[in-house]
Every structure is written in structure tokens, then in C-alpha cells.
Amino acid sequence: MQRRDLLIRSAGLLAALTFRPNQLSALGGPVLETGRMVPSFDLPGSSRTNPEQNHWTLDDFRGKWLVLYFYPRDFTGGCTIEARGFESTHEDFLSINAEVVGISADSVDDHESFCSSEQLSFPLLSDPDGNVSKQYGSWMAPYSLRHTFLIDPEGVLQERWVAVRPSGHAQEVMDSLRNLQSDTSI
């Protein structure tokens, strides 16, 4: 009986040491906390509407809201639905000073094909080793996980979505962004 009590107490202590009430964990690891600066990135990518640019950094989006969405793979059902959703709302995002960027482990060539096939007007960035995806808690090798981060013009995370359902997600992000912008304009 004494040994059992010791094991229970040890398990409770271990749980207390590892539990962080303000930190969300997902399959990909700890997900960024809202209200904090996001990690910088520098990744190659593809953009059908900006073919001369082949590298993007977080600094490229300073002064604008950024919808940074991670997804598993080009040309798959859910990823295509999600990309089409962001494409259908892309002009609306641009009209309220927001950019959309997708990140996956796919190659730049795959992104070029996907952007062309789906007529995507926003960049898709290549993170083949998952280095950036890991920093955002969005990596389970060999794929990025379907998480989205809404970053304000100063680089602070304002909203996050984990284990996203692709259908209707772009509109959900748009609604959240509009609410955040209306709250800050008061």
C-alpha cells in the first residue's frame, strides 16, 4: 500500500511540474501562446502573382496582419479545400490589410504546380525539414500539421487555431480578424 501511494504522489508531482496552464499543446508539441511575438522565418516559396520573389521572411509582412497557415500536403483533399477557401477570401483579406501565407513540407516545385493548378494568389512556402513548423508547434514528421496563426502588424500572435477543419476555416479566420480590428479601433 505504501508503494502505491508513493507512485500516485510521484505521478501527481510529475504532472504538476509539466503542466503549464497557459500553454496549449497539440500533437506537434507546444503551440505558441497568444500575446507573444512569433518566431521569425525565412523560407523559399512560390507565388503565382509575385513570381520574381522566391524567399519570404516574417519581416516582409511587417505593418500588415498575417494569416499564417500550416497544412500537410499540396494536392490532397483537405489541403485543397483549405487553400480554395483562403483564395476565395483573399481579396477580402487584402482589403483589410492582411496577407495570407501557407506553409508545408512540400517542395517549391510542388507549390508552383499547386498554385498554378488552384489559381492561388498568395504565397506557399516550403519547410521540408519542418524547422519553422516545429517553432510553431505544427510539425509531425514528415508533415506540417493543420494549424493557423493570426499575427498582428507588430508580429504578435493574436489568435490560433489547432487541428483545423478545412471547410469554412478561411471565413472563421476572417471573422476573427474583423472582430480583432474592430476591438482595437475603439
Q: Just list the catalytic residues.
A: 79
- For every residue of the chain, which 3-state class applies, written as one string? CHHHHHHHHHHHHHHHHHCCCCCEEECCEEECCCCCECCCCEEEEECCCCCCCCEEEHHHHCCCEEEEEECCCCCCHHHHHHHHHHHHCHHHHHHCCEEEEEEECCCHHHHHHHHHHHCCCCCEEECCCCHHHHHCCCEECCEECCCEEEECCCCEEEEEECCCCCCCHHHHHHHHHHHHHHHHCC
